[in-house]
Structures are given as structure tokens and as C-alpha cells.
């Protein structure tokens, strides 16, 4: 810490001395000391701090009452004891109170295993309830088209209400009734249809709010998760993909102060869950005697290495491809003497998150248009053609809207992709590629931030990342090295684009780094 | 005169002199009674001078907590950086209290005058009188007086030609006990739920619309004009060093003459009950007295020989609160009385703090079960433990409010609980 002395204070928390900037709360100071003070209503991304859950009460030497650490400002020389008998007893009683009318339906609750009430209840170890009365039953409600509210599980921390009010900037949720009959509801006459409403499920510390499309889908401990980047638009929100039995079942935003904070939009959530659908290509196919024939990778690549024409041609890529794939396509095109190339980009309406303006559902509904531009591809609305022979290379674009004779006028039609549309079936060779969720790679967002995503799913059949396929093919034709790891494919891309100079795979990490793109504002490092 | 009863222990000179006199509501009559003299004097005084007089008088907040009024005013910023506000708390909602109602009903101009003087003392340009929704008949009386006072130049622009401006708005609540808590009141006043807010920031730093605000009780503000007119020593002729002045009492329950009385602070509680109110009807005995409104600790019949001051009742283990004794006669089932009180607080908990939201209702449910004959001795241990869990851990003191009567009833009338439980473990 390089701040002047007057700007920092020192205090002791559970015997650990810690120095923090003046104005830091006791809860944040404790975090700095490596101590988590249990809490429910406080959320670092929601500005208001009502201090109402009373879970973060701590003892502060010299103060007669326990103090809520989420709002208590740390003072010079303060001695905070989070584990005092009084503080522990206060926490125990909060848990007891919260469980009085709670249905304890963990076996059928989607939050089980990731529930702060469950965790702290275990920690306080109260096996039997002293509550002899009948539990109050409030039932459940559809609070939005796609979100269910289980009132009996709700601990009324009001994070959802305050997310909508403070962050989304729309007072669509309220606490209805009062006292032990209180529950969360939509404001009378108002629907919860905000583009960022899904975040209320993420901020819910218990199982009170559940996305209907995740309802009863997976137990937390049966899910595999991987850090990833939302491909829904060019904002590049950091996400965590939750998968069960190789299907994406849930997306959650992953904190990144420079991109999306704690949030993501509902378009992104839905968009990605949809990616489970469609007929996949799982084997290489080559055209022999007019018929597509499944072959081994070796055979397909040998044949391709020999028969790929040079000199003339066009290329269509997809802005959903990784930077590594786009660089490899560029390298292949360069090797056969084709310049330029196009990509098609869907556009849609925008929606900004009022409380965090960097987060916006952007008009460009693809994650890597910036990467496509970087490697010399330009946006087009039209499909390539008509052609008079030559190479037609399509990478990633699903050609869903292409005419049935698409590619017939090409001399050689190579298709690399994940899904097999009718138009793609016209190709002379079809190479099965993974989706971004099935591989590692990077995307470059609207602001020129390059961000890594990791593999969440196992690819079907023998599908491989397109960069891996293309670099192998190039190596067989005497251009560069074959690579098996994304970091090596990335290093090759860095060598091939001056704007990426200096970027290192490890340094990009899970937070991303800024590429030096022309005209793109460099986001402040933080 | 007192209303509806009077007694020679009554002082009757300050707040209640004109109770029962409908003419006193009219400005013309009120001016004939010496009305607005305090305001005229205050306009000739610096804000600091007004505060000093009130501070010297020892006037303490009559809303229940007894905080020194003049001292509270000094918490307001001396340098103005934006508007200041005065809130008059007329959300009288403590069970047993019905004193502010009588001020609104009989002497609305006295309250208006007190509000304006206080507003001048704290440099406020706007006064809000927050009246509980159930008081709508009295609100219309107040509203009429406000219109008259505006028309006569006592409120508004250039008050009495002094160049000083101050507006006054009457706001009607929607019926929540907790709107009587000052931060809950301000939240409700500005369009939110009546939910208390964590302090700091204190109202004097950030109150109504985020601006410095003072919240005073109706009875407190009504005492101000005559203190300004007559001086602090005059006010101190009544009461004790720490509890000077007079106090409106609200006596209810099993009494021969329940009602409002204005008494000097320090009168023994037993005299209030036996002399002023004539004791218990039908020759019955007192079983318990809840001296300061339902949120205060119960006293037994043997504990009533205490001076009715803030410090006196505190020493007796209870509180003067709003000076609203509820008297329970010997036939009263203490468990039922306590259950009724607990029901009230469970119903009125705003629901923010977990302990209060769940705990008050749990207490009420246990009491209901004991009352119905299905109690266990272990329930008493649970109730005692809940007294611990509900004390001092929440944003406001609503949870503490149920503990005071509950713990005292368990301590002093355990035999009644045990009789209903009948020895079941």
C-alpha cells in the first residue's frame, strides 16, 4: 500500500493486524485480513447497505453492542473480534430464526450445495429446532416469465429488490407485507421484464429465486463448471458455464471489474443455453465420386493438403470463432494467396445496465468481430458468390440461410464448423470443429479487450478446435508448426498480428488484457 | 381544566389548559389566550438563543426516549449547506399513549407555534407534521388551523413581517407503528416503506431528502412556546433537576377515572394511579402496571411507590416512556395480557431485521400456546433465551420493546405461566 499514512488506518481483527484505506468497512477490512464475516444482505455489487440481516454482527472492543460490520467503518486501533462468544451466539440465533419457518427442503432445492443458509446452518450445528409451532407457508410465485420465487425459502435479505432498484435502476420489486409475513413481489401493476432481471437469481444467497430453465436440472455437486466468456454479444461478459452430462445447464456471471462486474444480461444467458441444440458434425467428411464419405482425420487432412487449390478464392468466417481460429484461417488464406475475407454479423437492440454502464447488451451479437477485423476480415451482409471456380472456405458460419446450391460454383468448397446445415453438405470437405464451449481460446471484445475462455464441454466424436485442424493442415503444407494447445495457437496469432504484440497467454489469465486495436478505447486497467 | 377528568394534583397550566374548549382551535380565540406570543419573541431571537432557552429548561423528548430537546437541536449543522427540515412526530402509536391526539384535537395552534419556533432554532425552512393515519378526524382539525395560520401570516413567506420564511405541511401516515421511529418516519414521509434505517448517518446529518433533519414529538414541541415566553426557570418550577416540567399522562386499563392528566414530573406513580385516577374499580386490587406504554417493563402493585421521572422509573427497572400507564387488575391473566402485547409487536415488526421479524412472532406463538394450555416448562427457558436474542441486535428497538414487558412478566408473574403450563416439562 503506497498511500500516505493519514489515508490508511491500522486495526486488529481476530488478532490479525491489517492496514486499510480510511473509510473501509470492518467487513472489507476483515476480508483483507483473510477473515470472512458471514453476511446475507450485503453484496459488494449492490450499493445500498441496509444492515438488516444482522448476520455480520461483530464485537468491537469498547462498544457495548455488537456492530454490523458491513456498515461499520474501520477505525484506527480498533480491535474487532468476529469469533467472540457474543458474536458467535448472535450468528447462531440468526440462523435459528431464519430456519423457524423455512421448509428445509434442501433435497429438492436447486440452491442446495451453493446456499449460504445451508452453509452457515451446518457451521452453527443446530440439529434440532426449538420451534414447536406450525410453520408459516407462503408458497411460490412466478415472479417473472422465467423466474420462480419460493417465498418459504426467502430470508428477505432484499438483495433482489435492491439489485433492481440500485443497479438495474428499475423499482420493479418490492417487499410486500411486513414482519414474518413479508415476502418479495413485483410492484403492483409492473412486470419484472428488465433485460438484466436474471441477476436477481445470482444475488439470492439461498434458493428463493430460481431460473425456471434450471429448475430441477442439476445438483450443484453434479455440475462441472468452467470459466468462460459469454458469446452473446461483443461486450465479452465473463461467465461461468455450468454443465451436466455434457449439456450446458446454467450460466452465471463471473466477476470482472473491467467488463461486467457481477452481472450479465438475460439475452446472454438464454442464448448460450440454446447452444445445446442442433445437428453436430462429429467426423471428417470428404466428397468422393460425388458422395460425402466419413474418413479418419489423417486421411482427410492428407487429401486436403494435396487437393487444396491456390490462387483464387473467397472466405467466410464467423465472428463466433476464437482469435486463434481466425488467425489460423488467415494464415491458410495467405498460404494460398487469398486476401481479404468476410464475416456476417447479426445485430440487435441494445440494453445498458444503469448501475454499471460498461455492461451493455451490444448491438453486435457476436463475441469476436474485433478479432475478425484484426485479421483482415470485413463485415458483410451477403453470402460470398457468385464464383467462377477457386477456393470457397467457410469457417464457423452455419449457412442456415444459404440457398441449397450454395458453393456449387466454387472450384473447391471447404467447410469447417460444428453444425451441419444443408448448404454445408455441398462442401468438398467438411471438417468437424468444436464450439467455443468445447475448447480453449480467446475473444476480443468491443473495447479491444482480449479474454480467455476455458473448455466446459467434451466435443462430439472427433471434433477438434478449428485452430488445431488448420494449423495441422498448414504444417502438412509446409507452413508453420502444428499445435495442440491453445496457448501455442495464441502465440502464433500474436506473431501474426502486430496489435497483439506483447500479450502473453498466462498474463491474460482469467481477467483479460487490452489489445492495441486502432480506434478502440483502451479500458482503464484496474 | 383537564379533560375528561381533573384532579387537584394536575398542574393544568401548560399543555392542557384549553383541552375541552373547542373555541381554542380557532385562531381568534387562541390569540386571545396569548397564542403565538412565543413565536413573536422567537422571531426577535437568534436561533442559538432559542436553543439555549430550551436547553436550559431541561425539556426532554416526550416521545418516550426522553432525550434532551435543546441538546438534540444543537446536533444540526451550524452552517447551512442546503435546506434543513423539522419533522413533528405525530405518529402516536404506542399502545397506551393518547396524549398527542389531545394536543392535535384541542390546541392545534399551540403545536403549530411550537413547530415554527423549533424550525427557527434549527434553521429549517420546512416543517412536516407526520400524523398517524388513524388520526384523520384530528388531522382535519390540525389542517384547519394550518390554513388559518397561513392566512394570518404565521406560516409561509415573511412570517409576521420578519422576512423569515417557513412552510408547514401536514402528512398523513398509512398505519404502521414503526413509522413512529424517527428514521422510519422519514422513510415513510419521503415515499418509502416505514422501515428504520441504520445510524449513522443520524437525522441531523442526513434525514428527510438526505438533508439535516430534527424529529421532535408533538408534546415536546407544544411545550416550547411557553418556555420561550416564560423562560427556562419558569419551566423548572415543576419536576425535578433531571426531569423538569410537566407531562401529559395517558392513564388506561382498570381505573376508576382513566384519561389524560397533565401532572408535574416526579409525582409518585402510586398517586397517579390511586389519587388521580381513583384506583381500580369495584374495590379490586392492582396486579400490575405497565407504566410507560406497552413497551415498558411491568411493575407489580408493590413497586408503585416511585417518583414518576425518567430517572425514577429507570431505577425501578422500568421506564417513564410516554407516561402512559396501563393498569391491570387482580383478575387479569398476565399471560393473556403479555400475549396481546406480543401480538401487537409481531404485527408491527417491519420485517427487516431477522431477530425482530422471526423472534417477535415466535414469542407471540409460544405465548398463545401457553395461554391455550399447551405450554411446557421448557417454553419459559426459550422465552428467556429469546429475551436475550431480541435485545440490542437490531436496527431499531422494536424487538427490545417486546422484551421489556416479556422479561418482567416472566420474572414477576412466573407463577401465572406455570399455573397454565401445569408442570409439563
Domain ranges for chain A: 5-93, 101-222, 285-514
Q: Read off the pLDDT band of A524 (50, 70, 90).
A: very low
b/e code A168-185 from CB counts within 10 Å (16+ = b)? bebebbbbbebbbbbbbb
Q: Residues B390, B359: contact at Cβ < 8 Å?
A: yes
Alpha-carbon distance A13 to nearest alpha carbon in chain B (angstroms): 20
Alpha-carbon distance A15 to nearest alpha carbon in chain B (angstroms): 24
Give how far the C-alpha of residue B414 lies from the chain's centroid of Cα atoms, to the nearest Å. 30
CA distances in angstroms from A369 to A317, A324, A445, A509, B327, listed in the order given: 10, 13, 8, 21, 79
Contacts of A107-113 with CB under 8 Å at 24 or more apart are A108/A216, A109/A150, A109/A153, A109/A207, A110/A207, A110/A210, A110/A214, A110/A215, A110/A216, A110/A217, A111/A153, A111/A204, A111/A206, A111/A207, A111/A210, A111/A220, A112/A207, A112/A219, A112/A220, A113/A219, A113/A220, A113/A221
Alpha-carbon distance A97 to nearest alpha carbon in chain B (angstroms): 6
Average pLDDT over residues A239-257: 95
Which conformational region is residue A352 in: left (phi greater than 0), alpha (psi within -120 to 50 degrees), or beta?
beta
User: How much is the pLDDT for A520?
Assistant: 46
Q: Does residue B425 carry a pLDDT above 90?
A: no
pLDDT, tens digit (0-9, with 9 covering 90-100), for B257-316: 999 999 999 999 999 999 999 999 999 999 999 999 999 999 999 999 999 999 999 999
Least confident of B8-12, B106-110, B115-119, B162-166: B8-12
Q: Read off the pLDDT band of A1 (50, 70, 90).
A: very low
Task: Say yes or no: B57 and B179 in one domain.
Answer: yes
Average pLDDT over residues A281-310: 95
Q: What residues of chain B lie within 8 A of the CB of A181, using their CB?
A: 351
Strand ranges for A350-428 from DSSP E? 351-352, 360-361, 378-379, 391-395, 412-417
Asked whether residue B243 is domain-assigned, the answer is no
Angle at CA of residue B211, ends B207 and B213, nearest 5°: 50
Look at strands B326-329 and B246-253 and give their pairing.
Answer: parallel
Task: Say yes or no: B78 and B44 in one domain.
Answer: yes
pLDDT, tens digit (0-9, with 9 covering 90-100), for B310-343: 999 999 999 999 999 999 999 999 999 999 999 9
Class of residue B392 by CB neighbours under 10 A (exposed 0-12, middle 13-18, buried 19+)? middle
User: Which value, to the nearest 10 degrees, does the dihedral of the CA atoms of residues A180, A183, A188, A189 take?
Assistant: -160
Q: Does residue A484 carry a pLDDT above 90?
A: yes
Across the interface, whether the CB atoms of A55 and B382 are under 8 A apart is answered no
Q: What residues of chain B lie within 8 A of the CB of A187, using their CB?
A: none
Sign of the C-alpha dihedral computed for residues A125, A131, A135 and A141 taken in this order? negative
Q: Please tell me which of the candidates B361, B379, B394 has its beta carbon nearest to residue A54.
A: B394
Percent of chain A with pLDDT over 90: 91
Cell of A452: 480467455
Sign of the C-alpha dihedral computed for residues A447, A453, A456 and A458 taken in this order? positive
Angle at CA of residue B92, ends B286 and A49, nearest 5°: 120
Which of A23, A54, A101, A159 would you mutate first to test chain B, the one with the most B CBs within 10 A?
A54
Task: Say yes or no: B82 and B189 in one domain.
Answer: yes
User: How much is the pLDDT for A332?
Assistant: 97
User: How much is the pLDDT for A272?
Assistant: 72
Cell of A523: 479500458
Q: Residues A379, A344: contact at Cβ < 8 Å?
A: yes
Question: How many CB atoms neighbour CB B229 within 10 A?
Answer: 18
Task: Say yes or no: B27 and B139 in one domain.
Answer: yes
Alpha helices in A163-316 (DSSP H): 199-203, 266-273, 297-307
Residue from A224, A437, A239 nearest A322 by CA: A437
b/e code B4-42 from CB counts within 10 Å (16+ = b)? ebbbeebbbebbbbbbeeeebbebeebeebebbbbbebb
If you measure CA to CA, which chain A residue comes closest to B193?
A: A175
For chain B, how many structural domains are there in total?
3
Asked whether residue B9 is domain-assigned, the answer is no
Task: Say yes or no: B312 and B345 in one domain.
Answer: no
H or E element, residue B247: strand B246-253
User: How much is the pLDDT for B235?
Assistant: 96
The pTM (predicted TM-score) of the whole model is 0.94
Q: What residues of chain A lie within 8 A of the CB of B392, using their CB?
A: 64-66
Fold exhibited by the domain A5-93: Ubiquitin-like (UB roll) (3.10.20)
Q: What residues of chain A lie within 8 A of the CB of B196, using their CB?
A: none
Asked whether residue B17 is domain-assigned, the answer is no
Residue B216 to residue B89: CA distance in whole angstroms? 6
Alpha-carbon distance B116 to nearest alpha carbon in chain A (angstroms): 33
Alpha-carbon distance B354 to nearest alpha carbon in chain A (angstroms): 6
Across the interface, whether the CB atoms of B351 and A53 are under 8 A apart is answered no
Fold exhibited by the domain A285-514: Rossmann fold (3.40.50)
Range of the domain at B408: 334-421
Q: Does residue A519 carry a pLDDT above 60?
A: no
Cell of A65: 453492542
Secondary structure (3-state) at A17: strand
Asked whether residue B241 is domain-assigned, the answer is no
Q: Does residue A2 carry a pLDDT above 80?
A: no
Q: No. of H helices and E strands in chain A? A: 12, 26
Task: Say yes or no: B83 and B134 in one domain.
Answer: yes
Q: What residues of chain B lie within 8 A of the CB of A98, using their CB?
A: 354, 358
Q: Residues B253, B328: contact at Cβ < 8 Å?
A: yes
Q: Does residue A454 carry a pLDDT above 60?
A: yes
ipTM field? 0.94
User: How much is the pLDDT for A4?
Assistant: 54
Average pLDDT over residues A441-446: 98
User: How much is the pLDDT for A275?
Assistant: 67
Q: Does residue A526 carry a pLDDT above 70?
A: no
Q: Residues B70, B55: contact at Cβ < 8 Å?
A: yes
Residue B348 to residue B369: CA distance in whole angstroms? 20
Task: Say yes or no: B50 and B189 in one domain.
Answer: yes
H or E element, residue B379: helix B377-389
User: How much is the pLDDT for B71?
Assistant: 98
Task: Say yes or no: B200 and B264 in one domain.
Answer: no
User: How much is the pLDDT for A518?
Assistant: 61
Cell of B255: 381505573
Sequence-distant (6+) residues with CB within 8 A of B6 are B12, B261
User: How much is the pLDDT for A459?
Assistant: 95
What are A's interface residues with B at a Cβ cutoff of 8 A?
A: 49-55, 57, 64-66, 68, 71, 90, 93-94, 97-98, 100-101, 130-133, 155-156, 158, 175, 177-182
What are B's interface residues with A at a Cβ cutoff of 8 A?
A: 176, 193, 195, 197-198, 346-355, 357-362, 365-366, 369, 376, 379, 382, 389, 392-395
Alpha helices in A62-101 (DSSP H): 85-100
CATH code of residue B221: 3.40.50.11540
Cell of A505: 497467454
If you measure CA to CA, which chain B residue comes closest to A93?
A: B389
Residue A524 to residue A148: CA distance in whole angstroms? 38
User: How much is the pLDDT for A521?
Assistant: 42
Cell of B213: 433533519
Residue B218 to residue B224: CA distance in whole angstroms? 10
CA distances in angstroms from B8 to B5, B240, B267, B271, B309, listed in the order given: 10, 19, 12, 12, 19
Secondary structure (3-state) at A358: coil
Residue from A372, A364, A323 nearest A493 by CA: A323
Asked whether residue B199 is domain-assigned, the answer is yes
Least confident of A277-281, B300-304, B375-379: A277-281
Q: Does residue B140 carry a pLDDT above 60?
A: yes
Task: Say yes or no: B139 and B222 in one domain.
Answer: yes
Asked whether residue B377 is domain-assigned, the answer is yes
Asked whether residue B3 is domain-assigned, the answer is no
Task: Say yes or no: B73 and B207 in one domain.
Answer: yes
Task: Say yes or no: B104 and B204 in one domain.
Answer: yes
Pick the CATH number of A101-222 from 3.40.50.11290, 3.30.465.10, 1.10.10.10, 3.30.70.20: 3.30.70.20
Residue from B70, B10, B29 nearest B272 by CA: B10
Q: What residues of chain B lie within 8 A of the CB of A94, using their CB?
A: 354-355
Residue from B350, B415, B420, B363 nearest B391 by CA: B363
Q: Residues A492, A475: contact at Cβ < 8 Å?
A: no
Q: Please tell me which of the candidates A51, A130, A179 has its beta carbon nearest to residue B346.
A: A179
CATH code of residue B313: 3.10.20.600
Asked whether residue B134 is domain-assigned, the answer is yes
Average pLDDT over residues A470-479: 97
H or E element, residue B405: helix B398-412
Task: Say yes or no: B42 and B129 in one domain.
Answer: yes
Residue A111 to residue A206: CA distance in whole angstroms? 6
Residue from A72, A64, A1 nearest A32 by CA: A1
Amino acid at each position: 500500500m503506497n498511500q500516505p499514512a493519514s489515508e490508511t488506518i491500522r486495526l486488529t481483527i481476530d488478532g490479525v493486524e491489517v492496514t486499510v484505506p480510511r473509510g473501509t468497512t470492518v467487513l472489507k477490512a476483515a476480508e483483507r485480513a483473510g477473515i470472512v464475516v458471514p453476511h446475507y444482505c450485503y453484496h459488494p455489487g449492490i450499493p445500498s447497505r441496509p444492515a438488516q440481516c444482522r448476520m455480520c454482527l461483530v464485537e468491537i472492543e469498547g462498544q457495548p453492542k455488537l456492530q454490523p460490520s458491513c456498515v461499520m467503518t474501520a477505525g484506527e486501533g480498533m480491535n474487532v473480534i468476529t469469533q467472540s462468544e457474543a458474536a458467535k451466539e448472535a450468528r447462531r440465533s440468526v440462523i435459528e430464526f431464519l430456519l423457524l419457518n423455512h421448509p428445509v427442503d434442501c433435497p429438492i432445492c436447486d440452491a442446495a450445495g451453493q446456499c449460504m443458509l445451508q452453509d452457515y446452518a451446518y457451521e452453527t450445528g443446530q440439529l434440532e429446532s426449538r420451534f414447536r409451532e406450525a410453520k408459516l407457508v407462503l408458497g411460490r410465485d412466478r415472479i417473472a416469465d422465467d423466474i420462480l420465487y419460493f417465498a418459504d425459502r426467502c430470508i428477505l435479505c432484499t438483495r433482489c429488490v435492491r439489485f433492481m432498484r440500485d443497479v438495474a435502476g428499475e423499482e420493479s420489486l418490492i417487499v410486500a407485507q411486513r414482519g414474518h409475513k413479508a415476502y418479495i413481489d413485483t410492484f403492483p401493476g409492473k412486470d419484472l421484464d428488465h433485460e438484466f432481471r436474471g441477476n436477481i437469481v445470482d444475488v439470492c444467497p439461498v434458493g428463493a429465486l430460481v431460473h425456471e430453465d434450471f429448475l430441477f436440472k442439476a445438483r450443484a455437486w453434479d455440475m462441472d463448471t468452467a470459466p468462460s466468456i459469454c458469446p452473446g454479444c461483443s461486450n465479452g461478459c465473463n461467465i461461468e458455464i455450468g454443465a451436466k452430462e455434457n449439456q450446458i445447464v446454467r450460466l452465471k456471471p463471473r466477476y470482472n471489474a473491467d467488463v461486467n462486474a457481477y452481472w450479465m444480461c438475460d439475452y446472454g444467458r438464454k442464448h448460450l443455453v440454446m447452444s445445446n441444440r442442433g445437428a453436430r458434425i462429429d467426423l471428417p467428411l470428404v466428397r468422393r465420386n460425388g458422395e460425402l464419405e466419413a474418413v479418419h482425420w489423417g486421411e482427410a487432412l492428407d487429401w486436403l493438403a494435396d487437393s487444396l487449390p491456390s490462387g483464387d478464392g473467397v472466405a467466410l468466417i464467423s465472428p463466433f470463432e476464437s482469435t486463434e481460429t481466425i488467425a489460423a484461417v488467415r494464415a491458410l488464406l495467405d498460404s494460398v494467396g487469398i486476401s481479404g475475407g468476410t464475416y456476417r454479423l447479426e445485430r440487435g437492440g441494445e440494453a445498458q445496465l444503469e448501475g454499471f454502464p460498461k455492461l451493455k447488451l451490444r448491438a453486435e451479437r457476436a463475441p469476436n468481430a474485433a478479432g475478425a477485423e484484426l485479421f483482415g476480415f470485413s463485415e458483410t451482409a451477403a453470402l460470398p458468390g457468385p464464383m467462377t471456380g477457386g477456393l470457397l472456405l467457410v469457417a464457423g458460419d452455419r449457412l442456415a440461410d444459404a440457398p441449397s446450391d450454395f458453393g456449387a460454383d466454387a472450384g473447391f468448397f471447404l467447410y469447417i464448423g460444428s453444425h451441419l446445415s444443408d448448404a454445408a453438405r455441398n462442401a468438398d470437405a467438411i471438417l468437424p470443429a468444436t464450439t467455443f464451449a468445447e475448447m480453449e481460446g480467446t475473444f476480443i471484445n468491443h473495447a479491444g479487450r482480449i479474454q480467455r475462455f476455458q473448455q466446459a464441454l467434451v466435443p462430439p466424436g472427433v471434433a477438434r478446435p478449428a485452430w488445431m485442424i488448420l494449423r495441422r493442415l498448414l504444417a502438412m503444407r509446409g507452413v508453420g508448426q502444428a499445435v495442440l494447445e491453445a496457448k501455442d495457437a495464441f502465440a502464433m496469432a500474436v506473431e501474426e498480428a502486430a496489435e497483439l504484440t506483447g500479450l502473453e497467454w498466462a498474463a491474460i489469465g482469467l481477467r483479460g488484457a487490452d489489445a492495441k486495436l486502432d480506434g478502440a478505447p483502451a479500458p482503464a486497467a484496474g | 381544566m383537564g379533560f375528561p377528568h381533573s384532579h387537584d394534583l394536575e398542574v393544568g397550566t401548560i399543555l392542557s389548559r384549553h383541552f375541552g374548549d373547542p373555541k381554542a382551535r380557532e385562531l381568534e380565540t387562541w390569540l386571545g389566550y396569548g397564542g403565538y406570543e412565543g413565536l413573536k419573541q422567537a422571531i426577535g431571537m437568534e436561533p442559538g438563543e432559542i436553543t439555549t432557552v430550551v436547553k436550559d429548561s431541561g425539556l426532554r423528548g416526550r416521545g418516550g426516549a426522553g432525550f434532551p430537546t435543546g441538546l438534540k437541536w444543537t446536533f444540526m449543522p451550524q452552517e447551512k449547506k442546503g435546506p434543513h427540515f423539522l419533522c413533528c412526530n405525530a405518529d402516536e402509536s404506542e399502545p397506551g399513549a393518547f396524549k398527542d391526539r389531545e394536543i392535535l384535537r384541542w390546541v392545534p395552534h399551540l403545536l403549530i407555534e411550537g413547530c415554527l419556533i423549533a424550525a427557527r432554532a434549527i434553521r429549517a425552512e420546512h416543517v412536516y407534521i407526520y400524523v398517524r393515519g388513524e388520526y384523520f378526524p384530528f388531522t382535519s382539525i390540525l389542517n384547519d388551523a394550518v390554513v388559518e395560520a397561513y392566512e394570518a401570516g404565521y406560516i409561509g413567506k415573511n412570517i409576521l413581517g420578519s422576512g423569515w420564511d417557513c412552510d408547514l405541511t401536514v402528512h398523513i401516515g398509512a398505519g404502521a407503528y414503526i413509522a413512529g421511529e424517527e428514521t422510519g418516519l422519514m422513510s415513510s414521509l419521503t415515499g418509502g416503506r416505514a422501515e428504520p434505517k441504520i445510524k449513522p448517518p443520524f437525522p441531523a446529518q442526513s434525514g428527510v431528502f438526505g438533508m439535516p433533519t430534527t424529529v421532535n414529538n408533538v408534546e415536546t414541541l407544544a411545550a416550547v412556546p411557553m418556555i420561550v415566553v416564560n423562560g427556562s426557570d419558569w419551566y423548572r418550577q415543576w419536576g425535578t433537576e433531571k426531569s423538569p416540567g410537566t407531562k401529559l399522562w395517558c392513564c388506561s386499563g382498570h381505573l376508576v377515572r382513566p384519561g389524560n392528566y397533565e401532572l408535574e414530573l416526579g409525582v409518585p406513580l402510586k398517586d397517579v394511579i390511586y389519587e388521580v385516577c381513583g384506583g381500580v374499580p369495584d374495590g379490586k386490587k392492582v396486579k400490575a402496571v405497565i407504566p410507560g406504554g406497552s413497551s415498558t417493563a411491568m411493575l407489580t402493585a408493590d413497586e408503585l411507590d416511585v417518583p414518576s421521572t425518567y430517572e425514577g422509573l429507570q431505577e425501578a427497572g422500568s421506564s417513564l416512556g410516554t407516561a402512559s400507564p396501563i393498569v391491570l387488575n387482580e383478575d387479569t391473566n398476565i399471560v393473556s395480557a403479555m400475549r396481546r402485547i406480543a401480538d401487537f409487536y409481531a404485527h408491527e415488526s417491519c420485517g427487516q431485521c431477522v431477530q425482530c421479524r422471526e423472534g417477535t412472532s415466535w414469542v407471540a406463538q409460544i405465548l398463545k400456546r401457553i395461554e391455550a394450555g399447551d405450554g411446557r416448562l421448557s417454553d419459559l427457558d426459550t422465552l428467556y433465551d429469546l429475551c436475550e436474542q431480541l435485545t440490542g441486535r437490531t436496527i431499531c428497538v422494536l424487538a427490545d420493546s417486546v422484551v421489556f414487558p416479556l422479561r418482567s412478566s416472566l420474572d414477576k408473574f412466573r407463577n401465572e405461566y406455570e399455573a397454565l403450563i401445569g408442570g409439563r416439562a
